[in-house]
Amino acid sequence: MKFAVFGGTQGVGLEFVKQALDLDPKPSVRLLARTPSKVPAELRENANAAFTTVVEGDIRNQEAVDRVVEGTNVVILSLGNTKSPQNPDAMRPVDTCSVGTPVVLNAMKKHNVQKLICVTSAGVGDSWADVPWWIKPVIWYFIGAALKDKDIQEQQIKDSGIPFVIVRPGGLQNAPKTGVYRVAEHIAELGRVARADVADLCVKLATDEAEWANWVGKTPTQIA
């Protein structure tokens, strides 16, 4: 297996890379990083070195994104609106997902990659209806712009014709993998989930054909 990972320098994306490199047989993992030194050394050294390729670049750069996607079979997209390392004093962007996703989709079409696993968020798209009414104003106040960015991202993926699963996690926690979580098309409650468990689901979707067949074309919510 050959995985292309976007958003693999931290959070869910980094957890995915770590768990993928623990698989037997080890897949090859190629990831895009604006700051390659952020990718932990143990993922680039020793036994992992032969399996890990870090391509330096920004999601907005088609040439760099093409280099990550070319020759892979599965793309993992776990982008967030983190600050630019080149411009740390600027405000956080609000359009990383909607600007970056078409670049990734172009590369997938060019290189005929037919499996996309994208991490967005509970509350995006039709899952907004599952958010309890009393908390909606608070959520919208704090992360409305991010949800809008991901709404556009999800529509871009659905319109692309590329087979996809969009995972919509609840509030993310830095906690060990439990392997115990709920995944359903609609979960009408607030919930949290470990980043490592979101990565666990992504690994299963990437490697287990039955899991993929169960969710392809769908947008499941995931909470603990």
Q: In the bound complex, what is the minimum distance in angstroms from residue 49's beta carbon to ligand NAP?
A: 20
Among 1, 2, 28, 34, binds ligand NAP (CB under 6 A): 34
Q: In the bound complex, what is the minimum distance in angstroms from residue 23's beta carbon to ligand NAP?
A: 20
Q: Give a three-class secondary structure readout of the chain.
A: CEEEEECCCCHHHHHHHHHHHCCCCCCEEEEEECCHHHCCHHHCCHHHHCCEEEEECCCCCHHHHHHHHCCCCEEEECCCCCCCCCCCCCCCCCCHHHHHHHHHHHHHHHCCCCCEEEECCCCCHHHHHHCCHHHHHHHHHHHHHHHHHHHHHHHHHHHHCCCEEEEEECEEECCCCCCCCEEECCCCCCCEEEHHHHHHHHHHHHHCHHHHHHHCCCCCEEEC
Per-position x/- string for 74-103, each x denoting binding to ligand NAP as judged by CB under 6 A, each - no binding: ----xxx-x--x----------x-------
Contact range with ligand NAP by CB under 6 A, out of 7-15, 108-116, 201-209, 213-221? 7-15
Q: In the bound complex, what is the minimum distance in angstroms from residue 77's beta carbon to ligand NAP?
A: 9
Q: Is 35 in the site for ligand NAP (CB under 6 A)?
A: yes
How far, in Å, are 151, 160, 192 from residue 219 at the CA level?
12, 15, 17
Q: In the bound complex, what is the minimum distance in angstroms from residue 95's beta carbon to ligand NAP?
A: 10
Q: Is 59 in the site for ligand NAP (CB under 6 A)?
A: yes
Q: In the bound complex, what is the minimum distance in angstroms from residue 93's beta carbon to ligand NAP?
A: 7
Q: Is 9 in the site for ligand NAP (CB under 6 A)?
A: yes
Q: How many residues bind ligand NAP (CB under 6 A)?
A: 26
Q: In the bound complex, what is the minimum distance in angstroms from residue 78's beta carbon to ligand NAP?
A: 5
Binding site for ligand NAP (CB under 6 A): 7, 9-13, 32, 34-35, 38, 58-60, 78-80, 82, 85, 96, 119, 121, 146, 169, 171-172, 195
